Structures are given as structure tokens and as C-alpha cells.
A and B are shown apart, each in its own frame.
Chain A
């Protein structure tokens, strides 16, 4: 077992599970999330690859994950935390990892999770004029949305107002 994994296990609040020798998962409770990210950065995990959420509908929770990378020890660590689904909100991590600013903007738009401290969270980012519920949630049915907003062509000779060759 690498020495860096032992050091991560000693951070307060961390529950570590090892998937491969270069990928570990660190579960942490919601109130210790920002301090865990700060401690991981001090241990050398100074690059953020991606940050997003998984919608765990049966448990009525969102699972936020941050994929971090340590170049010196060549190891990836995924920091995960569960938050409630009703009125979901998290604090911003952009002061620790600047790329998180953009990932949090996408998170608010796609999942509806509020991010406190991020000045642009809540403004339209990728979608334009979107009035329905946040589309990446599991209870948004995209096939039903498509059938109510668009129409499919039924045959090659169908006469709409324009002709096809």
C-alpha cells in the first residue's frame, strides 16, 4: 500500500476505499467537505479533473464528487459527499481549485443545486430560455419532453409546407 494512502486515511473525517493502486475513493460528511478538499490539496492533490453530481433518487440524495490528481505520486482520488435532495446547496470550492468555478455553473444549471459563493451560479450557461426542471435529474423524462415539443416525420412523402428531394 502506498504511503500517500496512509496519509490520506489519517485526515480527519475520511473513509478511504481503494479501487486500484492508482485510484482511491474518499467519503466524507457534508460539513467537512470544504476542509477535506483543503487538506487534500496540502497533501499534494493539486489538480482538479472534473466535478459533478450523481442523482441518487431512491435515497433522496445527491452525491457530489470531485476527481483530484496528485502528479508526484501519480494517484487519483475521488472525494464524495452526500447532500439532501430538497433545497440542495453546497459551498463553492473555487478558492481552492479555480477550475471548479465553471463546473459549478454547469452543476446549478443541470441539477438545480445552489452553490453559495459562486457569483455566476444560477445564470444561464449552456441552455437558453429553459423553463422546465433541471434536465439531468432522474425524474425529468426527456422522451416525454421530446414527444410534447417536437414532431417526427412519418414518411418520406409526407407533405409539410416544404418539399423534400
Chain B
């Protein structure tokens, strides 16, 4: 007769994606119950945003999602532009698309490094981190900072592209497309990865819809739902792309979907650079920040992040500070509604694998 014992996969652990803790109950090697323990990264963003002017919030919001900060700026700017009724210029739409797709590529490269490390293959994290650094170089030339850019703001983007940047980004896209074949041979077609990941953490289509999944978790079960096609923003109405869909619904399918999305992102960057208008303004003039009064109203603006749907619900009361901003991160339902159910019945060695396969991002949960 076996008794169950408690185990904490605590915050100080390289197997959890960030500062996050799992309380498990095990019998032997099998997990009997799992509870997530958030709150180690809570910084009270939503309260802090009510104390600052609309433009001061731009320094605060990239820090909500650390691996991919541009989605926060894009959703915030779209919410303000919707409330004020402002249209952004054409060239700014294409630049926003390029920046968002480049951020998506860096987020997926970062994810690949962590995911392969949870399965024990550390070569891939060295390659992925190195290739991601070239993209960060592009960002630092365009916006001035490596990680937190503060480049997309209400009205457009902050400044125009520097000379020669378009050729550099096309060179980077070509370099990464050639490198993807090496990644395939090392990891995605590796027999050990398939053996480890096929059949693990499987969810069906009904379960995914019922439990609130979005992004690659939902696409791996057969539903082609993507904010870029359903509620297009920036330059996505003018660009040509498909949504990758698989039907298996397990860890293997989710990893292959993310691999196909990297190729999608690179193709979108190429198309956007070629179709962009060659000259034009990149910013619609907005009022003086102290007198920037947003009309009373509520709205919900969403973008497609690398994990799923990322949305900002904004309530304004006519003054120059927001009244309430609620941030919707894709990881909250993935962790508490999906992962807590999937962990039951799996083995201890798969605990960290399941968390990384669903791509949980703890700063999004705690805000």
C-alpha cells in the first residue's frame, strides 16, 4: 500500500520557466495532484498604470511579458487609438508588422532553447541563443535598446528606419531560413524527441475549447484560430499567409506548430519589407502629454503573441490617466485550467516538459 508524499518544484529550479513554483503530490513516480503557486513576480502593474499619465505607462508595460515585450506596446497603443479614433499612417503599419514578427521569432528561439534543455539537449539552447542575439542586434540598431524597446506608441512608431536596415533584415531572414534545416536535423526530426514527446499531454478539440486554450495549443488540436486573421491589425490585411494546423494535440504537435510559425514569421517579414511604401510619415501627431485627454469609453484590443491571445481591456474617464487597465495574458488559463489537469497521471520527469510545452510565462500570470 503506497502513501503519497509532497514535493515542491520550487522557484529555485532550472526546470520551471521563470520564478514559479509547483506543489505536487506523488505516489512513487506518478503525479497524483498538482497545484501551481504564482505570485513571485507580482509587481502591481494594474495599480501602477492608474497613477501615471498615458505616455508614462509606455515605460512600464513592456515589462509585463519579458520574452516578447512588443506585444504589450502594440495592444496598449491599439486600445488608445480605438478610444481616440486615430488612424496610423501606412508606413507605420508595415513597420509595426516587421517589429512584431521579429519579436515573435526571438520569442520562439528562446522557447526552443528552454524546451530542448528540459528534454536534455543543451546544444540547441546554445545555437538558439546565439541566433537570437543577431535579431537583438537588429533591434538595438532600430530602437536603441536590446530588450525593452518602447518603440511602438499611440499614433505609430517612434522614428523611421535607419539607412540600410532593410537590407540587413533581409540578410538576417535569409540566414535564419538556411539555418532552420540544421535545427530540423538536430531536434525536430530527432528520434529521441519524437519518442519523448509523442502522446504526452494530449488534449482533444473539445477540451481545448472548453478550457480556454489559444495560440499553438489550440492550433495543434485542429482549429485555425489566429487574431491576425480573425481581427486583423497593422498590415496583416495586405499580407499573404496560412495558419498551420495539426490534429494530434500532444507535445509533438505543439512543437511542430511553433516550428512552422517561425517560417511563417520570416516570410511575413520579407513580404512586408517589399510591399512597404518607400516614403511617408511614421507618426500621427498626438496632443501634448499633459493635455492628452482620452474620451470616456471602454474597449478591448488584442494581438496574437507567440503564446496565444494577448489583450488589453481599457476603461477611460476623460482625464489624462487611465481609469482601469486589465491585461489578459495567454498563460493564465493554460496553467491553471489545462496544466493542472494534464499533470495528473503523468510521470515526474515529464512535469517540466509539460510546463514548457504549453509555454507558460510566469510574468504574464502575476502581472
Contact = CB atoms under 8 A, between A and B. Distances in A.
Whether the complex brings A and B within 8 Å at their CB atoms is answered yes
Interface of A: 19-20, 22-23, 25, 46-50, 52, 54-55, 65, 67, 71, 74, 76, 78, 97-99, 101-103, 125-128, 135-136, 142-143
A98 B38 contact: no
Nearest to B48: A142
Contact of B44 (A52, A125, A142): A142
Contacts of B309: 49
B337 A102 contact: yes
Given A99-B211, A99-B212, A126-B366, A67 B42 contact: no
A25 B337 CA distance: 26
Interface of B: 38-39, 42, 44, 46-48, 51, 82, 209-212, 214, 223, 225, 230-231, 297-300, 302, 309, 311, 313, 315, 323-324, 326, 328, 332-333, 336-337, 366
A128 B366 CA distance: 13
Contacts of A49: 300, 302, 309, 311, 328
Contact of B332 (A20, A47, A103, A136): A103
Q: Which 8 pairs between the two chains have the least Cβ-Cβ distance?
A: A99-B212, A50-B328, A126-B39, A99-B333, A102-B336, A54-B324, A52-B326, A74-B230
Contacts of B323: 54
Nearest to A97: B212
Contacts of B313: 50, 52, 65, 67, 78
Nearest to A74: B230
A78 B44 contact: no
A47 B42 CA distance: 26
A25 B297 CA distance: 11
Given A54-B324, A67-B313, A98-B337, 5 more contacts: A23-B299, A52-B313, A71-B230, A99-B333, A103-B332
A67 B311 contact: yes
A25 B313 CA distance: 13
Contacts of A99: 211-212, 332-333, 336-337
Given A136-B46, A142-B51, A25 B298 contact: yes
A102 B364 CA distance: 14
Interface hub of B47, B209, B309 (most chain A Cβ within 10 A): B47
Nearest to B50: A138
Given A47-B212, A50-B313, A54-B315, A78 B300 contact: yes
Contacts of A103: 332
Contacts of A135: 44, 47
A24 to B, nearest CB: 11
A149 to B, nearest CB: 13
B314 to A, nearest CB: 11
Max chain B C-beta neighbours (<10 A), residue from A19, A50, A67: A50
A129 to B, nearest CB: 11
Nearest to A23: B300
Contacts of B298: 19, 25, 78
Nearest to B329: A50
A9 B288 CA distance: 41
A71 B311 contact: no
Contacts of B326: 50, 52
A73 B313 CA distance: 21
A74 B337 CA distance: 24
12 contacts: A19-B298, A49-B300, A49-B309, A49-B328, A50-B313, A55-B324, A65-B313, A71-B223, A78-B300, A99-B332, A99-B336, A125-B38
Contacts of A102: 332-333, 336-337
Nearest to A67: B300
A142 B302 CA distance: 29
